[in-house]
Structure 1
Amino acid sequence: MDTNTLTPTVAAATLTSAKVQNRNLSTDPKRMAVIKVWDAMMRGARKYCEQEGFVTIHNMPHIVGVTGACENTDTLFTLDWYDGKKMFLPQSNQLYIEMLTQAVEGGRVCGEIQSFRKELNADNRRLAQFTLFEIEHLGDLDELLGHLAGIVRTAANEVATKCAKELALFGRDASELLDLTFKRMTYEAAVELLKENGFPELVFGDDLGATHEGRLTELMGPMFVTHYPEEIKFFNMRTNDDDPRVVNSSDLLLPLSGESAGSAEREFDGAKLREKLQKSSMLEGLIRQGMKLEDFEWYLSFHEEHDVKLHSGAGVGMARVAQFILGQTDIRECVPFLINRDNVI
């Protein structure tokens, strides 16, 4: 619902409803439980990273150039910057913190931002603002997935041990969240499994939607799907040496919430990186919006002018993790402040 197209009376009623919903935070037991669960969940995520020697990057940018986009540039929120220059609210700080892995002792960094997506649907899966917990490190995909599993496992353990009473309000047994394990399956194997379990029309190259992810987690539980086709992923994901159709990437799928973290090895060869961007559908979309290849020049030049080592990273959508922890089908019930197309304070 776009309040700009509504009559003043209807628009006011819509915003008033949103304000009432958020104001009830202080009196609704479930909303207060959500706040406590989030506190424990984030403490757990940070605890894992501290134990593993990650350096936390603070004050990360919340006003960015187009390099603050992830995959779908059509969902960027645009800002009117100084002198009429176009800037954006960030979807990810990935490209900015990637390069810190080359300089920070130990090569491990992490940080939190608010990720903004101009989602047109206000439904049970999508938010216009959510917490993104990002990590980057020197190392390959296998090691990265170990860190991702550790972050989510430690976050869930912290909630299970500190918030059993709050979980019970949502019908969730804390013991179900202790010491989670995560299966792994390639994208190609996942497509074959789905074809045998209700989706015979799927073919290699199709993107997996919410219904596919939901079915996979019904069959497998929490899992990583790895090695997606290059065409459907972000331009800087590293091409697999043995199978050039795919990139060394993974999505973390959680029951009820589906895709909750995207991760990949980053292409570190400057020439290959420039070539991958030039042929990407992302660049085509940027050009349509008045952007240009030169907007990425600082990032491309860094890789062309330095001896960049293999690195990989991930962004964890913590609202989706909270949805899984709370065992809810609707993400709108799982955030302390609901911000989507229909709801703003």
Structure 2
Amino acid sequence: MDTNTLAPKVAAATLASAHAGNRNLSTDPKRMAVIKVWDAMMRGARKYCEQEGFVTIHNMPHIVGVTGACENTDTLFTLDWYDGKKMFLPQSNQLYIEMLTQAVEGGRVCGEIQSFRKELNADNRRLAQFTLFEIEHLGDLDELLGHLSGIVRTAANEVATKCAKELALFGRDAEDIKDLTFKRMTYADAIERLKPEGFPDLQWGDDLGANEENRLTELEGPIFITHYPADIKFFNMRNNDDDPRVVNSSDLLLPLAGESAGSAEREFDGAKLRHKLETSSMLAGLIRQGMKLEDFEWYLGFHEEHDVKLHSGAGVGMARVAQFILGQTDIRECVPFLINRDNVI
């Protein structure tokens, strides 16, 4: 039998046998276009990292301790591990691959995981499972943002080059995503920029929500917001030398998608790192959930026992990058498989 004839029938039969309520399992042209766009997008991200000498870390853990949390430990999915021990599905592998930057030649590593978030809302922004593309390297925030720009730009260029027909199905012109540029603005300047734009009560120290992020991208296009207050960020982000109130961090905001990548320099001084964790609101929340400081000892101990060099890293939410590339307001239309509170296969 001609394999060109057989393949579409097999694909259709496989998809038809899945949960009928999952609209992401249809074989309509748009759904197939999403799959091709993702293929090109991920090839582009990997291409950049390969060209820049990143070592790809495979077989990344998908069953983790609490150190697999990202920022909000309340959204961890819990697993019943052996002998009743509590384990989790990962939100990030950053703590695990950070230390590899100290040993790998060139100090650059990357990898892909499925990130799991126990999101209570099933809306146009949130997924319970999505692809996270993570990088860590020896270097500072400025160099890191250069790598992030390169990853997203190369991913978008690959889609523009290979998927013009697929983009057209979503009303997207391939020229619109070629050779992207990214502005930069500090968090403090972003607060002042937003006040006359419908957010008069926004104060320094407030986190930026979806509405604020969307307005910034309407005004500025793709943009890195840098130097957030330390109190609203993950415990291991490095405080700025000139203004310790803020950390050397950045969120990449993309039009329609909002926050699409979080990044920061990592604190590398062992004593400072331990103090930051001990005084963090995150640890207090973990203790309420039955966790303890000792769960982080392997991570803290590494920094206390070794001469750790300045390093930084980022996690790129590829579903939101796809949402931006496709120009859609609803992330549920932009993933090959939709997994959220209301939908599972």
1:68-147 map, 5 Å: 68-147=68-147
Maintained 8 Å contact 1:60/1:113: yes
Q: Distance in 2 between matches of 1:325 and 1:99?
A: 32
Taking the TM superposition and a 5 Å limit, the aligned residue runs for 1:11-26 are 19-22=19-22, 25=25
Is 1:179 the equivalent of 2:169?
no
Q: Which residue does the alignment assign to 2:4?
A: none
Task: Kindly indicate whether the alpha-carbon contact (under 8 Å) linking 2:24 and 2:338 is maintained by their aligned counterparts in 1.
Answer: no
- Give the equivalent residue in structure 2 for 1:310: 310
Kept after mapping to 2: 8 A contact 1:251/1:263: yes
Matched to 1:225, the amino acid is: I
Match of residue 9 from structure 1: none
Q: Secondary structure at the match of 1:262?
A: strand
Q: Return the offset for 1:25.
A: 3.1
Given that 1:25 and 1:32 are in contact with CA atoms closer than 8 Å, whether structure 2 keeps it comes out as no
One-letter code aligned to 1:81: W
**Alignment deviations for residues 187-207 of structure 1 (CA, whole Å, 9 cap, x no partner):** 000000001211110010000
Q: Specify the SS of the correspondent of 1:328.
A: coil
Q: Is the Cα–Cα contact under 8 Å of residues 111 and 134 in structure 1 kept in the other structure?
A: yes
Q: Which deviates further from its counterpart, 189-198 or 94-103?
A: 189-198
**What residue number does 1:30 align with?**
30
Shift of 1:186: 0.1
CA distance in structure 1 between the partners assigned to 2:94 and 2:105 by the alignment: 19
Name the aligned partner's letter for residue 245 of structure 1.
R
Question: Counterpart in 2 of 1:5?
Answer: none
Please say if residues 80 and 87 of structure 2, whose CA atoms lie closer than 8 Å, have aligned partners that are also in contact: yes
Aligned position for 2:240: 240
Contact 1:34–1:334 under 8 Å retained in 2: yes
Corresponding residue of 1:269: 269
Supply the AA of the counterpart residue of 1:197: E
The 1:248–1:23 alpha-carbon spacing in structure 2 relative to 1, beyond 3 Å, is: closer
> Which residue number in structure 1 is paired with residue 291 of structure 2?
291
TM-score (norm 2): 0.94
SS in 1 for 2:112: strand
Q: Closer, same or farther in 2 for the Cα pair 1:24/1:128, shift >3 Å?
A: closer
> 2:315, 2:73 → 1: CA distance?
17
Aligned to 1:3: none
Between Structure 1 and Structure 2, how many residues are aligned?
330
Query: Alpha carbons of 1:296 and 1:56: their partners in 2 closer, same or farther (altered >3 Å)?
Result: same
Code of the residue aligned with 1:137 in structure 2: it is H
CA displacement at 1:66 relative to structure 2: 0.1
Distance 2:338 2:170 in 1: 18
The residue that corresponds to 1:12 in the other structure is none
Tell me: CA distance 1:290–1:32, structure 2 relative to 1, closer, same or farther (3 Å).
Answer: same
Give the structure 2 partner of residue 332 of structure 1: 332
Partner of 1:192: 192
Residue 20 of structure 1 and its aligned partner are, at CA, apart by: 1.4
Q: CA deviation at 1:24?
A: 6.3
Indicate if the aligned counterparts of 2:75 and 2:119 stay in contact, CA closer than 8 A: yes
RMSD over equivalenced CA pairs, Å: 1.3
SS of corresponding position for 2:96: helix
**Counterpart position of 1:4:** none
Q: Give the Cα separation in 1 of the matches to 2:154 and 2:169.
A: 22
Contact 1:228-1:248 at 8 Å conserved across structures: yes
* Structure 1 letter corresponding to 2:212: H
Q: Which runs of 4+ in 1 moved over 2 A?
A: 21-26
Amino acid at match of 1:200: P
1:28 deviates by: 1.2
Ranges in structure 2 where 5+ consecutive residues have no aligned partner? 1-15
Contact 2:261 2:315 in 1 (8 A): yes
| Aligned mates of 1:42, 1:51 — CA distance in 2 | 14
Q: Distance in 2 between matches of 1:22 and 1:153?
A: 31
Percent of aligned pairs with the same amino acid: 90
Secondary structure of 1:294's partner? Answer: helix
3-state SS of paired residue (1:193): helix
Give the SS at the match of 2:20.
helix
With over 3 angstroms needed to count, the CA separation of the structure-2 counterparts of 1:281 and 1:190, relative to structure 1, is same
Q: Does the 8 A contact of 2:190 with 2:225 survive in 1?
A: yes
Secondary structure of the residue that 1:40 maps to in structure 2?
helix
- After TM superposition, give the deviation of residue 19 of structure 1 in Å: 1.5
CA contact (8 A) 2:24 2:336 kept: no
CA distance in 2, matches of 1:36, 1:190: 36
Q: Which residue of structure 2 aligns with residue 230 of structure 1?
A: 230
Q: Secondary structure at the match of 1:131?
A: strand
In the TM superposition, residue 23 of structure 1 has moved relative to its aligned partner by: 7.2
Partners of 1:225 and 1:256 in 2: how far apart?
16
Match of 1:152, SS state, is helix
AA partner of residue 89 (structure 2):
L
Residue in structure 2 matched with residue 165 of structure 1 by the alignment? 165
The verdict on how the C-alpha distance between 1:92 and 1:24 changes in structure 2, with shifts beyond 3 A counting, is closer
Residue 21 of structure 1 and its aligned partner are, at CA, apart by: 4.3
Which secondary structure state, in structure 1, belongs to the residue aligned with residue 92 of structure 2? Answer: coil
